[in-house]
Chain A
Amino acid sequence: MTRLWRIGATLAAGTLLAFLLLPIVALALTTGLGDLLAGLRHPLVAPALRLSLFTTTVSLVLVVAPGTALAWRIVQSRGAVGRAIETLVELPVVIPPAVGGLALLLAFGRRGLLGESLSALGVSIPFTTLAVILAEVFVSAPFYVLAAAAAFRRLDPTLLVVARSLGASPARAFSRVALPAAAPGLVAGAAMSWARSLGEFGATLMFAGNLTGRTQTLPLAVYTALESDLRAAQAIALVLVAVAFVLLFVLRRAAAASGPLFLGLPSALGRGPRR
């Protein structure tokens, strides 16, 4: 019975693992070097690559600076308010991206909540590069904020008491003790958040559209290329997979430096023990 159980469990685990790996292997095996080079020369690729690099970099900056402040506030406020804010931040993670895109349209679109005020200022956000950035911020910020809050929560609170007792202002205690001591976790959170931005598809498509050079990021380019040139789609996909591997490596390194990490959604949503 025990033996049967073990064989069954191994078989089930192996099947899932194979299923997870097979598509990646297929992607790599069916794309020859010639296909890759030809694909990368496709006119869709360069603008999409530039746009993705630009928008994800900007959105990362827009996420990390206020996200660090927000995470610190969440950890500092022990009570119901902190928990409520944390739950609100988690919301974009569980909302389907397409719904997020629709919600962004309803907020910033011409007929949206802020639409009139924005058009009065002569600003129209939907279907612009700015819309791409906003969509990326919306979907990726929670990953950073939750990871940063987890990293801050892992800090030994006596470190901050000691720093203050030595004469450090709250700002100095934060910048010289809390921030560097939590740095590996923050870097890992930023990497997660950036990866989510880079892969963002649904909200971008709804809110920013699919305009080459303006709103067509790499994932949208894969989708578009699929209709005309499979090789271009494969080439872009391989680029994204390569980036993913580099990110995984960074995350493993950060995990080794900072202890248990949130690699993946369930643990990112899970709260560590509150001190």
Chain B
Amino acid sequence: MISLRLDVAARLGPLAIEVALEAGDRPLVLVGPNGSGKTSILLLVLGALRPERGRIELDGVALYDSARAIDLPPEERGLGYVPQAYGLFPHMTALGNVAFALECRGVPRAERRAKALALLETVEAAPLADRAPAELSGGEGQRVALARALASEPRALLLDEPLAALDVSVRRQLREFLPSQLAALALPALVVTHDLADAAAFGEDIAVIENGRVTQRGTIHELRERPATSFVAELCSPFSPPAPP
């Protein structure tokens, strides 16, 4: 089983982040209010932001280790990233976006198109291949961005608010689709959300981030039964958890 572990401290403007987290073959869901540092944690793992000290480890290999002066550049970390607004390259088609990831991996030009199409197929987005990102709906963009992230054959996935900014029906649909995709991949994943219902869809393992720190870790039931902070209590109050399968 691949695991992603991080134990880092970072100062980002007024926000001091200090978190220790790990994710295995189940997604770890990061829930927290706006500005609590959820996205920054993803950027620290990606190598887009640099921690002050600590250690980030993927599958036993250090991506960052202040004690050993290790700081791999983002392109060597093997992480798949789907940012909040999907971050699709506006000057490439959906297919081109996926093919770019293949190009970065050194896949020969002649094979890229077929492989990119196959990847779009796995996220049920093959008919969108020739569309420009501006012509994609939120849900479609999400699928293409996921296909692109998978094209780099990542060893872990980082998804930032994957279900925010979607209309209700698409959201409901992706709430089933994305977790099942993640489950099939069996990769460690960090999923950022501010919505407990979305968090529940991704699984049992939830870390609540407030002001740069983990204030509670547990299943949705544990959060609901014994909220550790007023934020958790408030988050859980209007929510009734889905019946256990």
Contact = CB atoms under 8 A, between A and B. Distances in A.
Nearest to B49: A161
Given A161-B48, A161-B74, A176-B100, A166 B152 contact: yes
A155 to B, nearest CB: 9
The 10 residue pairs across chains A and B that have the minimum distance between CB atoms: A167-B104, A164-B74, A165-B81, A162-B87, A166-B101, A158-B87, A158-B83, A161-B48, A180-B91, A166-B152
Given A161-B48, A165-B46, A172 B104 contact: yes
Contacts of A176: 100, 103
A170 B91 CA distance: 18
Interface in B151-174: 151-152
Interface string B33-68: 000000000010011100000000000000000000
Contacts of B48: 161, 164
Residues of A contacting B: mostly = helix
B74 A158 contact: no
A211 B74 CA distance: 56
Contacts, number: 67
Contacts of B149: 165-166
A161 B87 contact: yes
A165 B91 contact: no
Given A161-B81, A169-B75, A176-B103, 18 more contacts: A158-B83, A158-B87, A159-B87, A162-B89, A163-B104, A164-B75, A165-B74, A165-B77, A165-B79, A165-B149, A166-B148, A166-B152, A167-B101, A167-B152, A168-B100, A177-B100, A180-B91, A181-B91
A164 B80 CA distance: 10
Given A165-B152, A167-B101, A183 B87 contact: no
Contacts of B242: none
Nearest to B148: A166
B73 interface: yes
Interface of B: 43, 46-48, 73-75, 77, 79-81, 83-85, 87, 89-91, 100-101, 103-105, 148-149, 151-152
B89 A181 contact: yes
Interface in A163-211: 163-170, 172, 176-177, 180-181, 183
Interface residues of A, number: 19
Contacts of A183: 91
A159 B87 CA distance: 5
A229 interface: no
A165 B74 CA distance: 5
Contacts of B87: 156, 158-159, 161-162
A176 B90 CA distance: 11
For B48, B84, B103, B104, which residue has the most chain A Cβ atoms within 10 angstroms?
Answer: B104
Contact of B89 (A164, A167, A172, A177): A177
Nearest to B42: A161
A170 B48 CA distance: 12
Given A165-B81, A168-B75, A159 B89 contact: yes
Interface in A94-125: none
30 contacts: A156-B85, A158-B87, A159-B87, A159-B89, A161-B46, A161-B74, A161-B81, A161-B83, A161-B87, A162-B83, A164-B73, A165-B81, A165-B152, A166-B75, A166-B101, A166-B104, A166-B105, A166-B148, A166-B149, A166-B151, A166-B152, A167-B104, A167-B105, A167-B152, A168-B75, A168-B100, A172-B104, A176-B103, A177-B100, A180-B91
